[in-house]
Amino acid sequence: MLFHRVANTLNYLDIKTVVVSCGTCYDQLAGYEFDKIFPGCQIIDIHEFLLEKEMKLDGVTGTRYMYHDPCHTPIKTMDPVKLVNELMGAEKDGYKIEKNERCCGKSCTLAVTRPDISTQVRFRKEEEIRKGAAKLRAIPVVAGAGRRGREGPGREDPDELPVVPAGPV
The answer to whether the beta carbons of residues 137 and 100 sit under 8 Å apart is no
- Which residues lie below 8 Å from residue 70, measured CB to CB, with a gap of 6+? 23, 104, 107, 137, 138, 139, 142
Residues 33, 16, single domain; the answer is yes
Residues 14, 76, single domain; the answer is no
Residues 72, 35, single domain; the answer is no
> Does residue 81 lie in a domain region?
yes
The pLDDT value given to residue 21: 85
> Does residue 154 lie in a domain region?
no
Q: Is the pLDDT of residue 138 over 80?
A: no
* Percentage of residues of the chain with pLDDT beyond 70: 70
Residues 28, 104, single domain; the answer is no
Residues 63, 113, single domain; the answer is yes
Higher pLDDT pick, 46 / 93 = 46
Residue 30 structural domain = 2-51
> Does residue 161 lie in a domain region?
no
> Does residue 160 lie in a domain region?
no
The pLDDT value given to residue 97: 80
> Does residue 10 lie in a domain region?
yes
The pLDDT value given to residue 52: 92
Q: Is the pLDDT of residue 17 over 70?
A: yes
The total domain count for the chain is: 2
**Cis status of the peptide bond prior to 165, with omega within 30 of 0:** yes
Residues 71, 114, single domain; the answer is yes
| Tens-place pLDDT, residues 24-58 | 888 888 887 787 777 888 899 999 999 999 988 87
pTM, full prediction: 0.62
pLDDT-derived band at 167 (thresholds 50, 70, 90) equals: very low
